[in-house]
Structure 1
Amino acid sequence: MKAIVHEGTAGLTGVAFRDMDEVQPSAGEVRVKLKTAGLNHRDLFVLHRHKENEPPLIIGSDGAGIVDAVGEGVTSVQLGDEVIINPGLGWQKNSDAPPSGFEIVGLPFHGTFAESIVVPAENAVKKPSYLSWEEAGVLSLAALTAYRALFTRGKVKEGMHVLIPGIGSGVATFLLQFAKAAGAAVYVTSRSEEKRRKALELGADKAIDSEGDWSEALDGQKMDLVIECVGAATFNKSLDRLKTGGTIVTFGASAGDEVTINLRTFFYGQFTMYGSTLGSGEELAEMIQFIEQHNIRPVIDHVYKFDQFEQAFTRMDKAEQLGKIAFSIE
């Protein structure tokens, strides 16, 4: 089968579109013939985390397709089922943190940028019927990350004021849509005028320039909740926007992972900070129910063919996208 594979040199120069052996499912597993897959920032990081001395790795964490082989003992999934891939391996029940042994598809195990993938049967989840294949293929990782950060950790409620710095990523666009559906007032930031405009079209109550004075641009408005996925470049600006007793949830650090904060400001502000990452199988089921109830669709930035992977990776690396980048596998 054809696949996007990383081996040898770190970074994009180590990626190739090549043949890999197709695998048969073992007991408790299924094989999914993939129709689409979704690119995530995680895939950029994998290009550096996957070491030169390790075996070739099929990257990718998001995908959707049709079950074409079923291992012994599998009863929950049948041949011909249309499914999305739950990228979280070994985390089915909701908990404060992932259990020991938790991994994500695409490192250290083969991922979704291939014509097929073998996963545990519990990780092949019924595709929401109203989503196109492109929408289904980019859903799981970003939407589940957004759902856990916003609902499980952030406990968003109707009437809250929510700030999402760095609108543009797939997770950020889901955060915006989810928070609006929950009845919150949502504010976003971006350096890009075009992204700010598109965020307003998606329902943001206000979109401000990341490089300006946030307090002035927001007319002094303080936030109940900030979902912070940018990192060092915005973290203290985000803290400054929290109201007394407010909550900040962090799950990303694409713009730096070391931050110095004023502890006195933090504890006098009675702030709460949570870390978050991906989510459990239970939360994935809740998220799917939520998007079906509110008819939420992923924002698709661009769809590439598999052999255009360099263009796709470069677009994400330059942060040019708004929403999700998809691969068409057929």
Structure 2
Amino acid sequence: MASPLPKTMRTILQTDKNSSKLTMKEVPLPTPTHPNDVLVKVAATSPCLGELWWARDFPDSVPVGKEPVPGQDLAGTVVAAPEGSAFKPGDEVFARIDASRPGAGREYALARESELALRPKSLDWAQTTATPLSALTAWQIVFVQGTLEAAGVFGDKEARKRNGEKRVLITGAGGSVGGFAVQFAAAAGAGAVVAVNSGSKAEFVKSLGATEVVDYTKVTVDAWAAEDPASREVDLIADCIGGSTMKNLWAALKDGGSFISIAMPPDMVKPEGYGKTPAKSVFFIVTSLGSQLAEISKLIDAGGIKPLVDSVFEFEQFQEAFDKVESRKTAGKVIIKVSV
């Protein structure tokens, strides 16, 4: 017989949207507010860079009265699910909780059934927690918004043939999202996977599947592309960084190529008088889809795909964990253990 649930739990709260200082309080367990809410005992969560400033900087995207619990990445065990749910108590799951709702920085969290998937059996809890947000974002930038075909990662010969005709350039290739994007593009059979990162990570990103490396500390992407435009132009740019250097990426895009960014709209930095016509240039925000996580889970368990974990903190070290993420001095995801 399952143990009865406690009446209260510890939760991380951001009490002031203008401050990154967090607090921990004892509060009642969350109550389902939607027919498809699934209650999960949280094993671990992970901070997302910038999430503590969303309520301040993007107030229209944060519902009024949202309980300010951070942590979009969720890994844990189902303790209660609605009747007819695909999940049952005891299932070990992972998810990216949509940013419009309270996160997983607490001992029990609510996730929508549509966000959940069974976690990869080959990963430990820290690796599992490092996966949902980063992997979903990478999957969508490469396969949903981007032009590679996901069927290629599961061996579809025709999809792999078409993917093999495309060159992909990925910025931030040594980071958590970029690292997954490199792995997905390589697994799908892309003709070339160009990684933009510091030279110190060159061998690492090659181990993930990059076929070429542009060391941004030594050469800008536009200068690199100009050395041999015919062979260096790419069909897809997957930008994970944004910022002023994003302008230089346009020079590497083929006429009719696609420029996808998770940082800012590419057209904001398009060079004046740019002569090529992209098929697509968009900024997008990740969608929480358990169906895609289930595909990613299968791919991980098949071997060869892995998340990037920077460090692991105890639950009581939540402030240190968030501060480290905000420092931008990480090599992968920072994990906060909650009940493991």
TM-score normalised to the size of structure 2?
0.79
Deviations 1:22-58 (A, max 9, x none): 124465432100111122225243364587x956511
Alignment of 1:113-128 (within 5 A): 113-128=105-120
Task: Name 2:13's counterpart in structure 1.
Answer: 5
Alignment of 1:170-189 (within 5 A): 170-184=176-190, 185-189=192-196
Match of 1:129 in 2: 121
Identity of aligned residues (%): 25
Farther off after superposition, 268-277 or 27-36: 268-277
- Counterparts of 1:193 and 1:316, CA distance in 2: 22
Describe the shift of the 1:241–1:258 C-alpha distance in structure 2 as closer, same or farther (beyond 3 A): closer
Separation in structure 2 between the aligned mates of residue 110 and residue 271 of structure 1, nearest angstrom: 37
Looking at structure 2, the residues matched to 320 and 327 of structure 1 have their Cα atoms a distance apart, in angstroms, of 17
Letter of the aligned partner of 2:318 in structure 1? F
CA RMSD of aligned residues (A): 2.8
Deviation string for 1:191-246 (max 9, x for gaps)? Answer: x4433443233332233332423245465311111101222322221111112222
The aligned residue for residue 246 of structure 1 is 257
Please give the alpha-carbon distance, in whole angstroms, between the structure 2 residues aligned to 1:314 and 1:8: 16
Q: CA deviation at 1:262?
A: 3.6
Q: Give the equivalent residue in structure 1 for 2:268.
A: 259
AA paired with 1:230?
I
Does the Cα contact within 8 Å between 1:7 and 1:54 map onto a contact in 2? no
Alignment gaps of 5+ in structure 2: 1-8, 149-162
Q: Is the 8 A contact 1:165 1:229 kept in 2?
A: yes
Tell me the residue number matched to 1:23: 30
Task: Specify the alignment match of 2:327 in structure 1.
Answer: 318
Alignment partner, residue 233 of structure 1: 244
- Structure 2: how far apart are the matches of 1:264 and 1:324? 39
Give the Å deviation of 1:147: 0.6
2:90 equivalent among 80, 85, 110: 80
| Offset at residue 69 of structure 1 (A) | 2.2
The answer to whether residue 290 in structure 2 is matched with residue 284 in structure 1 is no
Q: Answer whether contact 1:235 1:259 (CA < 8 A) is retained.
A: no
Amino acid at match of 1:83: V
Contact 2:117–2:291 at 8 Å: present in 1 too?
Answer: no
Closer, same or farther: CA 109–216 of 1 in aligned 2, 3 Å: closer
Aligned twin of 1:92: none
Q: 1:139 to 1:213 in 2, by over 3 A?
A: closer
Candidates 17, 31, 42, aligned match of 1:34: 42
Aligned AA for 2:176? Answer: G
The equivalent residue for 2:200 is 194
Unpaired segments ≥5 residues, structure 1: 88-103
Contact 2:66 2:101 in 1 (8 A): no
